[in-house]
Amino acid sequence: MESGQIHMIDVTQKKETERQAVAKGRLQMKPATLELIRKGKLVKGDVLAVAKTAGIMAAKDTHRLIPLCHPLQLTHIAVEFNLPEGGNSVEVTASARGVGKTGFEIEALVAVSVSALTIYDMCKSVDKSMTIGDIRLIRKSGGKSGLYLAD
């Protein structure tokens, strides 16, 4: 392959199977910022409701955001948040499911990423020091490679 050339993988001959992927990520922030999220006291409104909506919408548009991703028919996407008591982080988990010829890993990872970015956007007026990290695939099932579980 010559340098600079790109190719979308041909999945024509692959069998459709039920597939699922789960991804996680984390936003570190000041404890006071987390408390504002918990109490719903941020100027822009309900941070977690907006972040959940953004993550779901992004998962549905993954093929428009990541150039070589196939457009997939999601049958379910979920975004959940965990705000540990006494902590200074928001944990984001997204799961994507459907029947297809290729996996839903990128859709789950995009949902986590966009949800985290939305939280950052909604909280940046009170905490510009937030960091987003630990975005990773936790689990995937279906397809020829079968089950993957992260350590």
End-to-end Cα spacing for the chain: 34
What does the block give as tokens for 29? 């922030």
Give the tens place of pLDDT for each residue, 54-74. Answer: 999 999 999 999 999 999 999
Whole-angstrom distance, CA of residue 80 vs CA of residue 94: 6
Q: By the 8 A CB rule, do 34 and 87 touch?
A: yes
Give the tens place of pLDDT for each residue, 75-125. Answer: 999 999 999 988 899 999 999 999 998 889 999 999 999 999 999 999 999
In the chain, what are the domains? 17-139 (3.30.70.640)
Q: By the 8 A CB rule, do 94 and 111 touch?
A: yes
Whole-angstrom distance, CA of residue 140 vs CA of residue 137: 8
pTM of the full structure = 0.94
Hey, what amino acid is at 32? A
What is the set of active-site residues?
121
